[in-house]
């Protein structure tokens, strides 16, 4: 596809942590080009390069620098809107855009548990995208909202999916060590993070518990959550990017560590079948060293789009345990939305 045929997209909240990641990942995308950016009143009216404190190691893409930041009240012309807005702003803005006919692909929590809104990981529950037809009818919207999950829930669920399919899941405990960038910028004050672990991230545990069950649930004219027990402990640690999670799990049909490793390593989903542009070749990477995964060694594997699993071993209480790691602003946010948009396009569900 030549560049002038690419689908124009808008990025909402484009100046923030996730918004910047969208701008970076969409640069040179074969199907989409960033045509509009929008953010708060603080940024509206300025050009993107002036409004944005760019904090990624790669340079700000030249094509984004001169875009004028729109106010969220302004009309958008792009058929697709990627949203990296805070939840409260997303509630009103995303519904208004969906009503007007846009496909909204959101990172915000506002609509994730709405009974009409698909919560999708492209490898885990691609069939849930069919829920947009019911959403449009029920809400009387010309467009729709599809959400991706909480950053920790996405990586957890990506690793649960092969276990769920092969052995069934009865119950699990998960303890996270989440990077500071997960709180946006400036996020947690530096004096709270240095020499410290903060054992509380507001509403994070509830999100992980609810979202994992919705992702792994079924869609048959309505979303039915999967039936297993899950308890999450969420902690903020002094890591820049990359969430680490320790999982202990009781499977319905017990599996040895070797069987679990085989399920992780052979797992492939719809994005790999369709060879979508942002799909990792291997959605789950297994490391066999005793001291992996680690955030600063493993978060960028498969361009940040895979989850890395390690220390797969027996758990004396629940049967099996392992550690997982994933990039929070790539596969845990912007990259997940972009992959969902690619899936929608491949399945003929984009409004273009």
Ligand X SMILES: NC(=O)c1ccc[n+]([C@@H]2O[C@H](COP(=O)([O-])OP(=O)(O)OC[C@H]3O[C@@H](n4cnc5c(N)ncnc54)[C@H](OP(=O)(O)O)[C@@H]3O)[C@@H](O)[C@H]2O)c1
Round to whole Å and give the CA distance between 34 and 261. 39
Which residue has the CB atom at the shortest distance from ligand X? Answer: 16
For ligand X, which is the closer residue by CB, 155 or 250? 155
Q: Judged by CB, which is closer to ligand X: 16, or 280?
A: 16
Residue ranges that bind ligand X, judged by CB under 6 A: 13-19, 39-40, 42-43, 72, 84-87, 89, 107-109, 151, 181-182, 184-185, 328-329, 332-333
- 315 part of the active site: no
The DSSP secondary structure of 247-277, one letter per residue, reads EEEEESS---HHHHHHHHHH---HHHHHT-T
- Strand 229-237 relative to strand 7-12, pairing: unpaired
Measured from the CB atom, the residue of 135 and 152 that comes closer to ligand X is: 152
Q: Residue 111 or residue 144: which is nearer to ligand X going by CB?
A: 111
Catalytic pick from 151, 155, 234, 327? Answer: 151
In angstroms, the first-to-last Cα distance of the chain is 15
Sheet holding 7-12, edge to edge: 69-71, 32-39, 7-12, 80-83, 103-106, 144-147
Q: How far is the CB of 234 from ligand X (least distance, A)?
A: 13
The answer to whether 234 is a known catalytic residue is no
**CB contact set of 238 (below 8 Å; sequence gap of 6+):** 180, 193, 194, 195, 196, 197
Tokens of 335: 């990259």
Q: How far apart are CA 172 and CA 128, in angstroms?
A: 24
Active site residues: 151, 243
């Amino acid at each position: 596809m030549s560049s002038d045929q690419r689908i124009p997209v808008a990025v909402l909240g484009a100046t923030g942590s996730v918004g910047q990641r969208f701008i970076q990942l969409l640069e040179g995308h074969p199907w989409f080009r960033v045509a509009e950016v929008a953010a708060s009143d603080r940024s509206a009216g300025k050009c993107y390069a002036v409004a944005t404190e760019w904090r990624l190691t790669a340079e700000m893409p030249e094509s984004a620098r001169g875009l004028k930041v729109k106010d969220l009240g302004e009309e958008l012309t792009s058929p697709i809107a990627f949203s990296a807005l805070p939840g409260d702003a997303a509630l009103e803005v995303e519904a208004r855009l969906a009503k007007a006919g846009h496909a909204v692909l959101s990172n915000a929590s506002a609509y994730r548990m709405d009974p009409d809104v698909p919560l999708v990981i492209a490898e885990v529950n691609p069939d849930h995208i069919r829920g947009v037809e019911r959403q449009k009818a029920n809400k009387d919207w010309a467009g729709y909202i599809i959400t991706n999950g909480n950053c920790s829930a996405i990586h957890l669920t990506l690793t649960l999916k092969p276990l769920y399919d092969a052995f069934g899941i009865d119950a699990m405990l998960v303890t996270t060590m989440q990077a500071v960038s997960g709180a946006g910028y400036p996020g947690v004050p530096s004096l709270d993070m240095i020499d410290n672990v903060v054992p509380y991230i507001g509403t994070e545990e509830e999100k992980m518990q609810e979202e994992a069950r919705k992702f792994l649930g079924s869609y048959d004219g309505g979303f039915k959550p999967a039936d297993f027990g899950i308890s999450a402990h969420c902690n903020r640690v002094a890591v820049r990017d990359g969430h680490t999670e320790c999982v202990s799990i009781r499977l319905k049909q017990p599996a040895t560590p070797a069987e679990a490793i085989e399920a992780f390593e052979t797992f492939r989903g719809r994005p790999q079948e369709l060879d979508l542009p942002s799909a990792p070749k291997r959605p789950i990477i297994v490391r066999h060293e005793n001291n992996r995964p680690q955030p600063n060694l493993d978060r960028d594997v498969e361009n940040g789009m895979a989850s890395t699993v390690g220390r797969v071993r027996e758990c004396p209480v629940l049967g099996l345990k392992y550690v997982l790691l994933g990039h929070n602003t790539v596969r845990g946010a912007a990259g997940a939305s972009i992959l969902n948009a690619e899936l929608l396009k491949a399945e003929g569900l984009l409004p273009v």
